[in-house]
């Protein structure tokens, strides 16, 4: 940041940037509620229910590079505003999707929301890295990411109170309903998503207008280069950078692990602790997000005394053991073990992100888009876990996130030795 930037009042712009982590956390955690809700409304298999995350994270994948090119041409702020507008549009699309009670329309709305979030994450993460000393980038980004779990918690609370009804008729009970009763049940459960997403859309729209009006430092609004800015040559250079691409792979598996665990935590509880209601199991998901949030602040503090890569290696190794326990001991203790993985996942995304961007210079912005593209792991691996669950059982399917944590541990060890 240059001297002119330092002289500008940056408190309000910083608050607005931090708020983005809250807003996309809310969208992400609502998906975990939607999987449970859509399984009920559309009687889906675990694989088909997992397509909620596939549609969502495919939006990230498709729009990450366009977001980076947009950001490099028009600046961070323009990317943030455009991302918020796409987020708004996707939230509003939930209303007609629920009215039509069509699963593919819901998936389309989620794709649009995720397209907006691709712009937000591609711009906000490197902006936080750029706003300060490179030597403390990991700590600064971890602090900013600490606001993300607040949004996740808000999403789960909204979903638990305003989307999940707690009405879970068995197959036998559904068979005894008349056609009219069945139609009313499905219609009521489908329409439950309309109000929350409509309100969310208006909030995000208001935030976009606020960002548009507030004056940001030059680093957030300046033109990012000359006529070659945003050329594909940037990405060709990155593909040949081995340590960076290893970071992209680690991010792919991390996002896959996180989304798998949170998406199927309620499902795991339904199988491992039979008779437990969806609202009660949503509390375990809520607990996961609370300890995830606490873990972010703890990790930020620990990084002042321990190397970030070493700490991530320790955390990933612990999660390998917790997942193994959840596989071998399905039941209430297995559910608690799976919930506990959230504490140790807390530092992984921002740490992998910051470590991967080290010493990339002018390639930082396109590199950020590659790292956001890695979020496609949430689309692919969640569907894989759903398929494994359909073929075996949900607790056996925990082998998918376990394998992801093995990759992350190897990457962390590699970075710590560089």
Q: Report the distance separating Cα 321 and Cα 233, nearest Å.
A: 42
What per-residue confidence (pLDDT) applies to 145?
73
What's the maximum distance between 2 C-alpha atoms anywhere in the chain?
A: 73
Report which DSSP code applies to 2: -
Taking each helix axis as running N to C, give the angle between helix 377-391 and helix 242-272, from 0 to 180 degrees, rounded to the nearest 10.
40
Dihedral Cα 10, 15, 16, 21, nearest 10 deg: 130
Name the percent of the chain lying above pLDDT 90.
57
pLDDT in tens, 178-215: 889 988 999 999 999 999 999 999 999 999 999 999 88
Picking from 323, 310, 353, the residue whose alpha carbon sits closest to that of residue 257 is: 323
10 Å CB burial of residue 9 (0-12, 13-18, 19+) is exposed
What per-residue confidence (pLDDT) applies to 200?
96
What per-residue confidence (pLDDT) applies to 14?
76
Q: Show Cβ contacts of residue 43 under 8 Å, excluding neighbours closer than 6 positions.
A: none
Taking each helix axis as running N to C, give the angle between helix 11-42 and helix 194-213, from 0 to 180 degrees, rounded to the nearest 10.
160
Q: How far from each other are the two terminal CA atoms of the chain, in whole angstroms?
A: 27
Q: Would the pLDDT of 133 be above 70?
A: no
CB atoms inside a 10 Å sphere around CB 101: 16
Name the token pair of 276. 């437990």
φ, ψ for residue 216, nearest 5 deg: -100, 160
Reduced to 3 states (helix: H, G, I; strand: E, B; else coil), residue 202 is helix
Angle 126-84-295 from CA coordinates, rounded to 5° = 50
Report which DSSP code applies to 396: G
* Cβ–Cβ under 8 Å, residues 401 and 323: yes
Angular region, 361: left φ>0, alpha ψ -120 to 50, beta rest: left
Distances in Å between the Cα of 91 and the Cα atoms of 27, 38, 110, 193 are: 9, 16, 8, 10
Q: Report the distance separating Cα 79 and Cα 166, nearest Å.
A: 39
pLDDT in tens, 5-37: 444 456 787 788 888 999 989 998 999 999 989
pLDDT in tens, 32-82: 999 989 988 998 899 999 999 999 989 888 988 788 788 878 888 889 999
Report which DSSP code applies to 217: P
Reduced to 3 states (helix: H, G, I; strand: E, B; else coil), residue 225 is coil
Name the token pair of 20. 């983005």
What per-residue confidence (pLDDT) applies to 6?
47
Q: Show Cβ contacts of residue 392 under 8 Å, excluding neighbours closer than 6 positions.
A: none
Domain ranges within the chain, ordered by starting residue? 3-223+233-416
Q: Would the pLDDT of 300 be above 90?
A: no
* Cβ–Cβ under 8 Å, residues 23 and 200: no
Picking from 96, 97, 113, 105, the residue whose alpha carbon sits closest to that of residue 31 is: 113
Q: Would the pLDDT of 228 be above 60?
A: no
Dihedral Cα 91, 221, 130, 342, nearest 10 deg: 0
Q: What is the CATH number of domain 3-223+233-416?
A: 1.20.1250.20
* Cβ–Cβ under 8 Å, residues 162 and 34: no
Helices (H), 192-277: 194-213, 218-221, 233-239, 242-272
Listing DSSP states for 277-327 in one string gives -HHHHHHHHHHHHHHHHHHHHHHHHHTTTS-HHHHHHHHHHHHHHHHHHHH
Report which DSSP code applies to 358: T
Picking from 126, 139, 160, 166, the residue whose alpha carbon sits closest to that of residue 20 is: 126
Name the token pair of 376. 């496609």
10 Å CB burial of residue 5 (0-12, 13-18, 19+) is middle
Name the token pair of 349. 């995304």
Average pLDDT of the residues in 340-367? 89
What per-residue confidence (pLDDT) applies to 3?
45
The pTM of this model reads: 0.82
- Helix (H) / strand (E) element for 391: namely helix 377-391
What per-residue confidence (pLDDT) applies to 222?
66
Picking from 299, 289, 338, the residue whose alpha carbon sits closest to that of residue 148 is: 289
Average pLDDT of the residues in 95-121? 94
Q: Report the distance separating Cα 287 and Cα 26, nearest Å.
A: 15
């Amino acid at each position: 940041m240059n001297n002119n930037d330092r002289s500008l009042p940056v408190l309000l712009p910083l608050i607005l940037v931090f708020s983005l982590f809250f807003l996309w956390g809310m969208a992400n955690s609502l998906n975990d509620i939607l999987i449970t809700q859509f399984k009920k409304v559309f009687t889906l298999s675990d694989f088909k229910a997992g397509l909620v995350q596939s549609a969502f994270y495919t939006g990230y994948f498709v729009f990450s590079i366009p977001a980076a090119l947009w950001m490099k041409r028009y600046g961070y702020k323009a990317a943030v505003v455009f991302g918020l507008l796409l987020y708004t549009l996707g939230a509003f699309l939930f209303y007609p999707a629920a009215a039509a009670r069509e699963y593919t329309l819901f998936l389309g709305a989620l794709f649009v929301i995720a397209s907006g979030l691709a712009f937000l994450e591609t711009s906000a993460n490197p902006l936080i890295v750029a706003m300060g000393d490179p030597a403390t980038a990991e700590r600064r980004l971890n602090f900013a990411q600490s606001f993300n779990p607040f949004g996740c918690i808000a999403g789960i609370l909204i979903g638990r109170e305003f989307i999940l009804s707690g009405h879970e008729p068995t197959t036998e009970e559904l068979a005894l309903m008349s056609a009219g009763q069945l139609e009313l049940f499905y219609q009521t459960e489908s329409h439950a998503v309309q109000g929350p997403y409509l309100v969310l859309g208006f909030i995000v729209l208001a935030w976009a207008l606020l960002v548009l009006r507030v004056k940001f430092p030059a680093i957030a609004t300046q033109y990012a280069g000359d006529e070659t800015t945003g050329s594909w040559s940037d990405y060709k250079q990155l593909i040949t950078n081995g340590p960076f691409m290893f970071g992209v792979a680690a991010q792919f598996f991390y996002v896959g692990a996180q989304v798998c665990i949170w998406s199927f935590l309620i499902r795991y509880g339904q199988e491992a602790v039979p008779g437990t209601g969806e609202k009660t199991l949503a509390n375990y998901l809520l607990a996961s997000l609370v300890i995830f949030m606490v873990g972010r602040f703890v990790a930020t503090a620990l990084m002042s005394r321990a190397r970030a890569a070493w700490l991530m290696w320790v955390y990933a190794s612990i999660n390998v053991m917790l997942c193994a326990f959840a596989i071998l001991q399905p039941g209430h203790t297995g559910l608690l073990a799976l919930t506990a993985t959230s504490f140790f996942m807390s530092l992984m995304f921002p740490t992998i992100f910051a470590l991967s961007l080290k010493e990339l210079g002018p390639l930082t912005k396109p590199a950020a888009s590659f790292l956001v593209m890695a979020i496609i792991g949430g689309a692919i691996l969640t569907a894989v876990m759903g398929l494994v669950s359909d073929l075996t059982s949900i607790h056996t399917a925990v082998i998918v996130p376990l394998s992801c944590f093995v990759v992350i541990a190897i990457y962390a060890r590699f970075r710590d030795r560089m």
